[in-house]
Homo-oligomer: A and B are copies of this chain.
């Protein structure tokens, strides 16, 4: 059976150059080559196998993750991988582990918030993993609202130390990954108190465990917070709980780049701009958007391939049934997700550019674009993670019953992904931040203030408030300028309408609270406009490869027309579209599905995922699904014996009517 390719015919149908599309997806030839090489390296190394993961009990699962993390580090050293390669390797190992927090949060926090001296002391230890760090911010009772944290760091001038303390149960640190069982150190966020005065939340480097025997240090209570959603998934991570009972650390372990406490206990601010914090947030959220396109594309790849393998109904004269991918109902759910994966990829690419731009401006003390960049990344983080979480589950449903099996890979993909909707800013809270920014922007219209970046369209407010769509035939919906105007008009009108309704309230904050659900919708409209325009901008570039650009144009059309249809209420209620024009959008969308259909398998092949990384029998490259599902079933622990454990105690007595004497 090996060597078959049940999807070979599908692959032949494609009318574009798949290899060229792989480069587009990866972002560059270099990025493609690194990804491809490292993905194969991981896939071919038995040390990184992950197929039994969903069956392991927690302790074994976790122990195996410790092994993999160490093995990955060993390979990184042996192969002398670059930083880029090492981080790709961790991606393809595809198992949440304490190292994610060490490299992704602990090290960057010291780099961003530590003084030169602190960096010189701590970074070499961290780079060699002689210490392992995590990032202890959220508390049992405090998530989104960082300013509400209760942990205290009180300066004791007698000993030149901070006393870190958890004054209440709800102040227990709760959730930090890597904290529960592994980290030797943590960046702990606590309320800084000097001389009785509260200076707000600051970061401190605190050692948690002995470097000799790993026991927790005096005054520190630390443990894992228990099982989380899904099989395997984030249960490979030791998210932890941490309480401090008057733990003392030297004064120089407060991260002092932005503010300092002197030997005398005086609190001082340095001249480093505080806005740098926002630069970091832009960076982190930019990576989250990139991750969204990865996660969604994996799910779409699985669902698309299996939709071509699976057949249901429509058999004629005993012939084969119809491939489910040929059903319009399947296409109308699957193809918009395929298009979204590409859309998120390109907006993620653009965000990477935005981050560079913002960083350069910050270094030149230009803070002018920061609020816009901040709102934009907050909104895109929210939009893409929500759509991806829903999209993965939709892909699972699109696989029918078999999507419910762990061997489909989709349950774990979903469970491991959904926290992205909550961490680094709850998605609703973030959209409200965007809305606040939009309302502020609207209020500045006519004041002569320049509208920058993604809000530039608001500068044309007068036109956008009164223009009407001039689509007359379905094909008119393929004109980029037409589409951009539609999304701009919708977003502009929704923001203005919110602003008008807000102005009816005497107390603006009360108004904001009362209308927050509408404000969230306005924010979504603004963010969707960004994604659509960045996709369209991408297509205005030169894109090599036969048929590649044409395929991307089709996907772009699917993406925005799907949104027009889904949100036609917005477009109609703002009177930009007529019902007839909305119906034409829907007709055009259906026509585009037919163009996606023959290219669907090639479009997911372009993601270049190995079977190891996909981790799905339904999504196998060769389409050899059923024999492999059958084979996999036998590996379940329940199948170790024909007669199940418990038969003699609990089934036989029941069948034999002897329960009254059974011990149950």
Please pick, from B172, B228, B573, B644, the residue contacting A404 in the complex, using a CB distance under 8 A: B228
A214 near B652: Cβ-Cβ < 8 Å: yes
**Given that A313-B145, A664-B74 are contacting pairs, would A59 and B637 also be in contact in the complex, using a CB cutoff of 8 Å?**
yes
The verdict on A342 contacting chain B, using a C-beta distance below 8 Å, is no
The verdict on A14 contacting chain B, using a C-beta distance below 8 Å, is no
Q: How many copies does the complex hold?
A: 2
- In the bound complex, residues from chain B placing their C-beta under 8 Å from that of A583 are 573
Question: How many residues does chain A have at the interface if contact means C-beta atoms less than 8 Å apart?
Answer: 139
The chain B residue sitting closest to A422, CB to CB, is: B401
B572 near A145: Cβ-Cβ < 8 Å: no
Question: What 6 A-B pairs have minimum CB-CB distances, sorted nearest first?
Answer: A568-B569, A569-B569, A57-B57, A229-B411, A63-B646, A332-B517
Please pick, from B128, B228, B418, the residue contacting A406 in the complex, using a CB distance under 8 A: B228
B70 near A651: Cβ-Cβ < 8 Å: yes
The verdict on A154 contacting chain B, using a C-beta distance below 8 Å, is no
A647 near B227: Cβ-Cβ < 8 Å: no
The verdict on A129 contacting chain B, using a C-beta distance below 8 Å, is yes
- In the bound complex, residues from chain B placing their C-beta under 8 Å from that of A407 are 226-227
The verdict on A397 contacting chain B, using a C-beta distance below 8 Å, is yes
| A 184-240 contacts with B by CB, 8 A | 184, 211, 213-216, 223-231, 234, 238
- Pick the interface stretch among A106-114, A261-269, A653-661: A653-661
Chain A 126-152, CB-CB to B under 8 Å as 1, else 0, gives 001111100000101111110010000
Binding site for B on A (CB under 8 A): 47, 54-59, 62-64, 66-67, 69-71, 73-74, 77, 128-132, 138, 140-145, 148, 169-170, 172, 175, 180-182, 184, 211, 213-216, 223-231, 234, 238, 241, 311-313, 315, 321, 327-329, 331-333, 393, 396-397, 400-401, 404-407, 411, 415, 418-419, 421-423, 426-428, 432, 513-518, 520, 567-575, 579, 582-583, 586, 590, 626-627, 629-630, 632-640, 642-647, 649-655, 657, 659-660, 662, 664
| Other 17 A-B pairs with CB < 8 A, given A62-B646, A180-B638, A223-B636 | A63-B644, A66-B649, A69-B654, A73-B654, A73-B659, A74-B662, A144-B400, A148-B315, A216-B642, A225-B636, A227-B231, A228-B411, A230-B230, A328-B515, A333-B428, A411-B415, A568-B572
